[in-house]
């Protein structure tokens, strides 16, 4: 087999999809942690996996304390992005494995930073756990909410009023409301028993809560398509279809670069059709 034939085989559609499914992508050449993080957060799925593999190869290449801290946070961010990817593609085994890998990194992060300075580690741990929960809506139940609440209480000691953590809690409360929209009384009751509920959930105003995050997608580890879609859903829940369409139009213009943004874009298109039809059908 010639080198060109081998190269074509390594990059054809079947091989790329197979590599994405098993999480085994060619390792990228980049060595800079910040650039690797950018590839993981803002690039195509196969490149994410390759960049994450390179991050793991960097372990032990530098022994300074500062480098180790930067690297462990980067690895944690990598697991967050890959859990989102595997969740979107319904690759449950890889998603659970990556979650476990991330939890191990979170433990190592706390040991590295120390008990008194573990705030950043806890934020990443919460983001990782939330990414898994949102990937599989069935995981949003009483137990996982209790576990997330316990992590929030712990993180609040080190990061009071942290915007990224507050966004996760807001998204959690609103997703629960949206999931029960248009369900009959029996299904709603069953969902409340499974997920848990409170008067606070019932009176939660998702529009006002979500709007405060509209221009902070990087700070809250989100992206334009997601935040605009959530705001549109909140307006739709209140039957304010005009404003829902405005935010859906913004979401439709958002960049689509990977599985999670593609999945969000599909949801946006479907919801746009639904709301537009409600407004204009005779």
Which residues in 91-103 are b (16+ Cβ under 10 Å) and which e?
beebbebbbebbb
Q: Residue 97: its pLDDT value, please?
A: 93
Q: Residue 111: its pLDDT value, please?
A: 94
- The full length of the chain comes to 282
Helices marked H in 2-64: 3-11, 13-22, 33-42, 45-57
Token output for 207: 């529009």
Q: Which residues of the chain have pLDDT under 70?
A: 1-24, 60-62, 136-143, 180-202, 282
Q: Residue 1: its pLDDT value, please?
A: 43
* Cβ 213 vs Cβ 170: under 8 Å: yes
* Cβ 205 vs Cβ 181: under 8 Å: no
Q: Residue 241: its pLDDT value, please?
A: 95
Please tell me whether residue 214 adopts helix, strand or coil conformation.
coil
* Cβ 45 vs Cβ 26: under 8 Å: no
Q: Residue 177: its pLDDT value, please?
A: 82
* Ramachandran class of 25: left when φ > 0, alpha when ψ lies in -120 to 50, beta otherwise: beta
Quote the CA–CA distance of 15 and 207 in Å, as a whole number. 44
């Amino acid at each position: 087999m010639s080198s060109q034939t081998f190269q074509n085989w390594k990059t054809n559609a079947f091989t790329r999809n197979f590599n994405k499914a098993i999480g085994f992508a060619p390792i990228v050449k980049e060595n800079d942690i910040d650039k690797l993080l950018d590839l993981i957060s803002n690039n195509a799925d196969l490149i994410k996996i390759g960049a994450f593999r390179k991050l793991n190869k960097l372990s032990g290449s530098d022994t300074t304390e500062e480098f180790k801290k930067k690297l462990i946070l980067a690895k944690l961010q990598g697991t967050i992005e890959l859990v989102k990817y595997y969740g979107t593609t319904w690759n449950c085994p890889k998603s659970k494995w990556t979650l476990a890998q991330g939890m191990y990194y979170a433990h190592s992060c706390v040991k590295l930073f120390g008990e008194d300075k573990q705030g950043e580690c806890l934020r990443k741990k919460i983001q990782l756990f939330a990414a898994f929960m949102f990937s599989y809506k069935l995981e949003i139940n009483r137990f996982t909410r209790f576990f997330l609440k316990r992590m929030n209480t712990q993180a609040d000691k080190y990061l009071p009023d942290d915007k990224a953590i507050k966004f996760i809690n807001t998204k959690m409360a609103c997703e629960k409301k949206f999931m029960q929209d248009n369900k009959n009384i029996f299904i709603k009751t069953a969902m409340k028993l499974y997920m848990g509920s409170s008067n606070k959930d019932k009176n939660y105003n998702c529009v006002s809560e979500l709007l405060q995050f509209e221009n902070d997608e990087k700070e809250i580890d989100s992206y334009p398509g997601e935040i605009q879609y959530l705001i549109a859903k909140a307006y739709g829940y209140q039957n304010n279809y005009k404003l829902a369409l405005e935010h859906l139009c913004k979401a439709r213009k958002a960049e689509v670069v990977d599985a999670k943004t593609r999945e969000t874009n599909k949801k946006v298109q479907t919801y746009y059709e639904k709301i537009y039809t409600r407004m204009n059908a005779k």
